[in-house]
Amino acid sequence: MQTNRYMCPLTYITMSHETSNTRSEFQLIEWIKDQSQSRPEIQHGIGDDAAVLNVSPGSQVVTAVDVITEGVHFTAESDPFLIGRKALAINLSDIAAMGAKPVAAFVGIVLPKHRDRSYAEEIYRGLFELANQYNVTIAGGDTNSWDGGLVISVTVQGVVPKDQAVLRSGAKPGDWIFVTGSLGGSLPSGRHFTFEPKLKASRILFEHFRPTAMLDISDGIASDIRHIANQSNVGVILNASEIPIHEDVNQSLNHDQRLQHALCDGEDFELLLSVSPETGERLLSDGKRHGLKAMKIGECTKKKELVLSFGEKFISLPAGGWIHQTHS
């Protein structure tokens, strides 16, 4: 078996605000190492200068990186456990969107100097709970401190059979468009902290209903569908009556206002995908039998326009999507 090496720094820098009551730099490394589970793909993880991963012949590695920052994705008062969980979850969502299986995560944390060691450990507890749930090894990273707010960068690597990663560029005119769940209200409800990455749905889709294109909804359908349209060189018609609106969207709003939230709120992290019409028929008839919730919301077209349909009435799909701001 050929061994491929993917490297990431593993030095954990002593935080300048540590006191005699906190553990040493090396004890911190050992504590993090003790929380991390092993996988056969991880030949060497935390403890060396770089991680070594084994990749089976016929497989490829996919890598996702996301950075979340205090004052943008959460506030100083947000639960550090949930912050850590979210930092990993959004990357697992990206891996799911590629049809891959996650293997290893690498975590870079820059802590505010006024935060103590217990705050850092709570962040890692959130990371490890989700990592263990999905059999992902925290294989390395880096920790530092500064005078600013909390910053977390997570890199996740997954594996997928060679040349079978699901891209955004494979949709064809006539393909049907599906979404795996209801949309809107994730931010005010706090669901953006607690959502489950759609890894199970991704495996079912990959194995039984191979998507032609797929992504996860981070900025809202009104924004994210444009990535598939642009990269696949197709147009899109979305049926307004078929867009599933989450119960978290304010029930006192009228339908058009609630629809606007479903289209534009963002941070839902459902999968948005296209399939051939033949596969779409099977997905509608057999999806639930496989444990998959998927709803048809539109189709791809030759005419390169993005359209929202209200029965016989058609309007241009409103531009919109999540604008980065502070959420508690």
Q: Which residue has the higher pLDDT, 56 or 33?
A: 56
* Predicted confidence (pLDDT) per residue in 275-327, tens digit: 999 999 999 999 999 999 999 999 999 999 999 999 999 999 988 755 444 44
How many other CB atoms are there within 10 angstroms of residue 236's CB atom? 26
CATH number of domain containing 126: 3.30.1330.10
Q: Which residues of 155-167 are buried (b: 16+ CB within 10 A; e: fewer)?
A: bbbbbbeeeebbb
What DSSP state is assigned to residue 169?
Answer: S
Indicate whether 281 and 185 sit together in one domain.
yes
Please indicate, yes or no, whether residues 148 and 33 belong to a single structural domain of this protein.
yes
Domain of 233 in residue numbering reads as 176-316
Return d(Cα 198, Cα 164) in angstroms, integer. Answer: 18
- Least Cα distance to 262 among 296, 225, 295, 221 occurs for 221
Q: Who's near 38: CB < 8 A, 6+ residues apart?
A: 45, 137
3-17, 94-108, 193-207, range with the lowest pLDDT: 3-17
225 — pLDDT class (breaks 50, 70, 90):
very high
Give residue 161's pLDDT band: very low, low, confident or very high (50, 70, 90). Answer: very high
Residue 258 scores a pLDDT above 80: yes
Q: How far is CA 292 from CA 112, 129, 283, 318, in A?
A: 42, 24, 9, 29
Residue recorded with tokens 């496989």 = 290
Please say whether the dihedral angle defined by the alpha carbons of residues 109, 41, 39 and 43, taken in this order, is positive or negative: negative
Residues 240 and 279 in one domain: yes
Question: How many structural domains are present in the chain?
Answer: 2
